[in-house]
Structure 1
Amino acid sequence: MHVLVVHNRYSSAQPSGENRVVDEESALLRAAGHRVDLFERRSDDIAARSLLGKVAVPLLVPWNPAVRTELTARLRAERPDVVHVHNVFPLLSPAVLAACADAGVPVVATLHNYTQVCPPGTLHRDGRPCTECVGSVAALPAVRHGCYRDSRLATVPLAVSLSVNRRRWWSGVDRFFCISSMQRDLLVRSGMPAGRLLVKHNFVPEPGVRREGSGEHLLFLGRLTESKGVRLLMAAWDAVAADGGVGVPLVLAGAGPLEAEVAAWTAGREDVRYAGLYSPEQCRQALARSVAVVAPSMARETFGLVVAEAMAAGVPAVAAAHGAFVELVEDGVSGLLHRPGDAASLASCLRRITAGPAANREMGRTARHRYDQDFSPAVGLERLVEGYRTAIAGRSGGADGAPPVGNTNADPRRGSRAGRKWGQ
């Protein structure tokens, strides 16, 4: 199969789960013998633009005509079997869909976030969940609140793009990959065409190292922002420390707006350490040495790569009981779930996950088994290729346009386990 991947790469200054997914899926397909080419733009390149070029970037967010022309020519010359769209913000724009229509090539798109119904794609504002723009044609609430970068002006291009391109997305994409059942359910309720929305969880590469024993620390691994629950975690950990601690330290690894605050909070303490930004290999080693990973996100995550990575290493997770985490973590079986936004509940779970080494190890074994079933490379490849084939067949008239029943009626708590293989 010949796949053309379309992606606007996020800034290299911050780790990006989407960039990783694109790279890992492409490598997985190539290793299986498929041809994968890339049509991309890089947000890093904006800095090298002239002043006029930088000023023009917001105007390209809703529509970039040059991209349509360039991509159409390439599609007609190379004739890929399918185009796989990931991120188009800010330099590609939904003009890529028009190019695919011009060339008559089937399109699948992975929905990594909620940009189909929320301009910044987070469904989170001012420290709490927000769905004001879900179902709103003009996305005016986002502009009013300045949801993107706390700026009304910066939010306008995103709101405009969402409004004017909504129908283009819904009609121009043959199949959407939702990365959790929860995400799919919300998007269906917002009015997106249910027959085009498939659940395809992200896969996680085999880490090459697993936990031995009970672990030596609790680990937060991610972007240091309030929406990821960093301040909540600090408050919960202070409560744990005030009660005498749990016998292992907390390690925070990552970068982001709260980096200075985290560094100041950890300074001079033995029970907590700020490790900075880890390399991929350091991440794998840190995960394999963890008692548990902590994912206290305030936002409703569409997936949660760090939780799946912990599963691969045989490590349980403590996660917020909302969003995709309720699909990834079976409370008391493969990890623990705490009440979202509740520091006392999180503190209780941190005490519990460290209190019983035997129970913790059993949770880790269960987590690894779940990884083998749902998030391994073999499963990821199968679902990815099947999604492509479904899109191609639907375009050619070989399918009725509806996704397989087993996948779309999955148990919302367990993702696609109710119909593990599409077509069951």
Structure 2
Amino acid sequence: MHILVAHNRYASAQPSGENKVVDQEAELLRTAGHRVTVFERRSDDIAARSLLSKAAVPLLVPWNPAVRAELAARLHTERPDVVHIHNVFPLLSPAVLAACADAGVPAVATLHNYTQVCPPGTLQRDGRPCTECVGSATALPAVRHGCYRNSRLATVPLAVSLRVNRRRWWSGVERFLCISAAQRDVLVRSGMPAERLAVKHNFVPDTDARRSGAGEHLLYLGRLAETKGIRLLMAAWDEIAASGGVGVPLVIAGTGPLEHEVTAWAAGRDDVRYVGLYDTTRCREAIARSIAVVAPSTWLEAFGLVVVEAMAAGVPIVAAGHGAFVELVEDGVTGLLHRPGEVNSLASCIRRIAAEPARNGAMGQAARRRYEQGFSPAVGLERLLKEYRTAIAGRSALARGGNVRASRGDGDSR
């Protein structure tokens, strides 16, 4: 099979789980013998543009005509079996859908977040869940609140794109791949076509870095941002420290807008180590040495890659009990779920998972089994190819139906 992947890569200054998923899927397909070509733009390239060109970027968010022409030409030349769309913000735009229609190539789109119903894609405002725009045809609440980067002006292009391209998305994509059932439920309630929304969890490559002992630290691995729950974790850890600690340090790995705050909080403490941004190898090693991985997100995560990475290493998880985490983590079996946004509940779960080594070991083994059954490369490849074939068959049936209608029309005219 020949798959063309369309993706706007996120800036490299901060870790991107989405970039990682795109690269891992492409490598998985190539290893299985499929041909994968890439049509991409890079957000990093914006910095090198002229001032005038930078100022024009928001105008390209709803529609980039140059992308439509360039991609349509590529599709006519290469004739892939399917186009797999990932992120289109800010430089690709939904013009990729028109290019697929121009060339008659079926499109599959992975929905990595909630941008189909929420301009910033987080379903969160002021640190709390928000669904004001779900089901709204205009997304005006997002503009009113300045939901993207706390700016009404910056939110406008996203809201406009959502409004003017809604029908194009819903009719131009054969299969939407939701990365959790929780995400699919939200999107169905918003009015998206349920028959085109399939659940395909992200997979994680297997790893030789697996936990062999009890672990030596608690680990937070991710973006240092409000939505990821880092402030909640700091407050919970302060509560734990005030009552004597758990005997091991908290390791925080990542970068993001709250980096200075995290650095200042960790400075001079023996029970906290802020280690900055780890590469893939060091991430795997840090996970394998963990008593547990902590994922206290305050927003409704559509998936949770670090949770499955922990499972692959045989490490249990402490995660917020909402969003996709509820279907990824079986409470009391593969980890513990805390009440979302509650410091005391998070602190209690961390204490429990660190205080019972035997139970912790059993949870780690159960987490590894869960990974093998649902999130391994073999499972990921099978589900991905199934959705590609469904999309191709759907487009072929549509084309046959169009030809039949055209033939009947010709017969009537005679």
TM-score of the superposed pair, with normalisation by structure 1: 0.93
**Contact preservation (8 Å) 1:110, 1:178:** yes
Distance in 2, Cα, partners of 1:109 & 1:116: 11
Matches within 5 A, 1:53-72: 53-72=53-72
**Contact preservation (8 Å) 1:393, 1:399:** no
Distance in 1, Cα, partners of 2:399 & 2:253: 46
**Contact preservation (8 Å) 1:67, 1:96:** yes
Matches within 5 A, 1:287-326: 287-326=287-326
Matches within 5 A, 1:342-357: 342-357=342-357
Question: Which shows bigger deviation, 308-317 or 257-266?
Answer: 257-266
Percent identical residues: 79
Q: What corresponds to 2:187 in structure 1? A: 187
Q: What corresponds to 1:151 in structure 2? A: 151
Q: What corresponds to 1:417 in structure 2? A: none
Shift of 1:226: 1.0
Q: What corresponds to 1:341 in structure 2? A: 341
Alignment length, in residue pairs? Answer: 400
Matches within 5 A, 1:39-50: 39-50=39-50
Shift of 1:398: 8.9
**Contact preservation (8 Å) 1:106, 1:173:** yes
Matches within 5 A, 1:240-389: 240-389=240-389
Q: What corresponds to 1:4 in structure 2? A: 4
The aligned amino acid for 2:316 is P
- Tell whether 2:211 aligns with 1:204: no
Q: What corresponds to 2:406 in structure 1? A: none
Name the Cα RMSD after superposition. Answer: 1.1
Q: What corresponds to 1:413 in structure 2? A: none
Distance in 2, Cα, partners of 1:224 & 1:176: 29
Distance in 2, Cα, partners of 1:24 & 1:207: 13
Distance in 2, Cα, partners of 1:218 & 1:330: 19
Q: Which secondary structure state, in structure 2, belongs to the residue aligned with residue 351 of structure 1?
A: helix
**Contact preservation (8 Å) 1:3, 1:37:** yes
Q: What corresponds to 2:236 in structure 1? A: 236
Q: Which secondary structure state, in structure 2, belongs to the residue aligned with residue 397 of structure 1?
A: helix
Q: What corresponds to 1:403 in structure 2? A: none
Stretches of structure 1 lacking an aligned partner (at least 5 in a row): 401-424
Q: Which secondary structure state, in structure 1, belongs to the residue aligned with residue 33 of structure 2?
A: coil
Q: What corresponds to 2:90 in structure 1? A: 90
Q: Which secondary structure state, in structure 1, belongs to the residue aligned with residue 158 of structure 2?
A: helix
Matches within 5 A, 1:95-244: 95-244=95-244
Q: Which secondary structure state, in structure 2, belongs to the residue aligned with residue 147 of structure 1?
A: coil
- Residues 77-97 of structure 1, C-alpha deviations (whole Å, 9 max, x = no match): 110000000000000000000
The aligned amino acid for 1:62 is P
- Residues 143-169 of structure 1, C-alpha deviations (whole Å, 9 max, x = no match): 001000110000000000000000000
Shift of 1:36: 0.1
The aligned amino acid for 2:97 is L
Q: What corresponds to 2:407 in structure 1? A: none
Shift of 1:247: 1.0
- Residues 375-414 of structure 1, C-alpha deviations (whole Å, 9 max, x = no match): 00000000011110010011112999xxxxxxxxxxxxxx
Distance in 2, Cα, partners of 1:76 & 1:282: 42
Shift of 1:213: 1.1
- Residues 242-296 of structure 1, C-alpha deviations (whole Å, 9 max, x = no match): 1101111110010011111111111111111111111111000000000000000
Q: What corresponds to 1:394 in structure 2? A: 394
Shift of 1:335: 0.1
**Contact preservation (8 Å) 1:29, 1:381:** yes
Q: Which secondary structure state, in structure 2, belongs to the residue aligned with residue 260 of structure 1?
A: helix
- Residues 205-240 of structure 1, C-alpha deviations (whole Å, 9 max, x = no match): 012210011100000000001110011000000010
**Contact preservation (8 Å) 1:222, 1:255:** yes
The aligned amino acid for 1:72 is A
The aligned amino acid for 2:33 is G
**Contact preservation (8 Å) 1:390, 1:399:** no
Distance in 2, Cα, partners of 1:17 & 1:306: 9
The aligned amino acid for 1:280 is T
Distance in 2, Cα, partners of 1:16 & 1:256: 11
Distance in 1, Cα, partners of 2:190 & 2:264: 42
Shift of 1:39: 0.3
Distance in 1, Cα, partners of 2:314 & 2:207: 10
Question: Which shows bigger deviation, 70-79 or 283-292?
Answer: 70-79
Q: What corresponds to 1:26 in structure 2? A: 26
Distance in 2, Cα, partners of 1:103 & 1:279: 39
Distance in 1, Cα, partners of 2:268 & 2:249: 13
Distance in 1, Cα, partners of 2:398 & 2:192: 23
The aligned amino acid for 2:237 is W
Shift of 1:124: 0.7
Q: 1:144 to 1:32 in 2, by over 3 A?
A: same
Q: Which secondary structure state, in structure 1, belongs to the residue aligned with residue 219 of structure 2?
A: strand
Q: Which secondary structure state, in structure 1, belongs to the residue aligned with residue 319 of structure 2?
A: strand
Distance in 2, Cα, partners of 1:211 & 1:349: 20
Matches within 5 A, 1:402-417: none
Distance in 2, Cα, partners of 1:208 & 1:158: 42
Q: Which secondary structure state, in structure 2, belongs to the residue aligned with residue 323 of structure 1?
A: coil
The aligned amino acid for 2:173 is V
Distance in 2, Cα, partners of 1:243 & 1:113: 38
